[in-house]
Homo-oligomer: A and B are copies of this chain.
Amino acid sequence: MSEVSAIRGLCAKADVGIDGGRSWDIRVRDQRFYDCVIADGSLGLGEAYMRGYWEANDLFGCISHILSCDQLCAHKNYGWRTSLAFLKARLLNVQSISQTRSLADVHYNLNTELFEHMLGPSMAYSCAYWLNAATLDDAQIAKFDLICRKLHLKEGERLLDIGCGWGGFAHYAAENYGVEVVGITVADEQAAYARELCTGLPVEIFCGDYREFPTAEICFDKAASIGMIEHVGTRNYRTLFSTVESALRPRGLFLLHSITSPVSSEVGEPWLTTYIFPGGVLPSMRQLSESAERLFVLQDMQNIGPHYTPTLRAWLDNFEAWWETASPYAKPSIWNSQEAFYRMWRYYLSSCAAEFHVGGSQVAQLVYSKGHLPGCYTAAR
């Protein structure tokens, strides 16, 4: 039982008890929990949760404690599956065009009903802005508006939205700022949804990879990419920046909204990339600066990372409420089990909320200009 005592020791350092009485303590339901964590670190912890080997009344609190301590899931403790992921990232372009399509199949085409209930009417699948907002939908609209104001959108301008998702931002910008928008998404179902949503507005949706978009044809005044570069992969940042640069007129502005990691890495968190975002990896400020050099001038940066915790918690509440009432036919499954999917999704949203709560990742809004701006750029807040 040396594994048990090793795990107990690590948990104690994180102030998480095993079978204790506090809301964030771990209750072990199956002894295989210990093997999973020893063998696969953070990947094993998540898998053990999916399999029902452990519980916590306050899953968010439990993972927050663990991440603060950073012992259980430290990079050095990665098991062999993680090492394999590192190797793969070095040898292959994991985020190739064909791989990206398969990511879209896995995640974004998953189940529109789930996302509609989880994300609410804005259908925005990125960090909201809670500065003057009390509800998720208000906070997502506030985020859309913040981005429009940071881009200094003016009527009649042309805006490129790379990674437009279900079209929520394109719709908002076209309706409220009178701009013409071209949105790009790689997921068929998102493209269809976005076209429907934006009916009657000057919004065009291009369904394809950003590398397939014919930038030479149209010149854009502004560009935005909201929560999409996390899927792009470190090898392709430069290509993304140079695609946007080619599409913009001189002095055009580009707003990049991205989760960032304080540490440069070529691979993402093992559990998340296995079950939620295949090929996902968070850029660091260092990697973004390297990739933007000579293409763009950075004008403004704001970290809104702490806003992601209430966003993710609101998504979790919405997801749980939907699950209770949803038809069994609408519920996705994994390993042929709807229960495992439910636990996977709870673990996904709770662990990400915890990650932002403890500051393990940030959310950067960066405003770049193509070349020099005549006056001083002033960013909205």
Contacts and interface: CB of A to CB of B under 8 A. Distances in A.
A197 B103 CA distance: 63
Contact of A299 (B292, B303, B377): B303
A333 interface: no
Interface string A5-25: 000000000000000000000
A379 B381 contact: yes
A293 B284 contact: yes
Interface centre among A360, A372, A378, by most chain B C-beta atoms within 10 angstroms, is A372
A262 interface: yes
A293 B264 contact: yes
Interface string A354-381: 0000111010100000011111111101
A298 interface: yes
Interface string A275-309: 00000000011101110111001111111111100
A317 to B, nearest CB: 21
B300 A293 contact: no
A263 interface: yes
B293 A303 contact: no
A302 B379 contact: yes
A253 to B, nearest CB: 12
B299 A293 contact: no
B373 A306 contact: yes
Contacts of A284: 289, 293
Interface in A76-135: 131
A263 B301 contact: no
Interface centre among A293, A294, A375, by most chain B C-beta atoms within 10 angstroms, is A293
Contact of A298 (B285, B307, B372, B373): B285
A286 B295 CA distance: 13
A294 B290 CA distance: 17
B285 A293 contact: yes
Contacts of A371: 359
A74 B379 CA distance: 32
Contact of A372 (B264, B289, B358, B379): B358
A301 B304 contact: no
A210 to B, nearest CB: 23
Nearest to A302: B300
A373 to B, nearest CB: 7
Contact of A297 (B298, B303, B358): B303
B264 A306 contact: no
Contacts of A358: 372
B297 A286 contact: no
Interface string A250-264: 000000000000111
A301 B367 CA distance: 10
A262 B293 contact: yes
A25 B285 CA distance: 43
A303 B304 contact: no
B303 A298 contact: yes
A307 B376 contact: yes
Interface of A: 131, 262-264, 284-286, 288-290, 292-294, 297-307, 358-360, 362, 364, 371-379, 381
15 contacts: A285-B292, A285-B293, A285-B298, A286-B289, A286-B290, A289-B290, A298-B303, A299-B303, A300-B303, A302-B379, A304-B376, A305-B376, A306-B376, A360-B372, A379-B381
Report the 7 A-B pairs with minimum CB-CB distance, sorted nearest first.
A359-B372, A301-B301, A286-B289, A289-B289, A306-B376, A285-B289, A299-B303
Given A264-B293, A288-B289, A303-B376, 4 more contacts: A286-B293, A297-B362, A305-B376, A307-B376
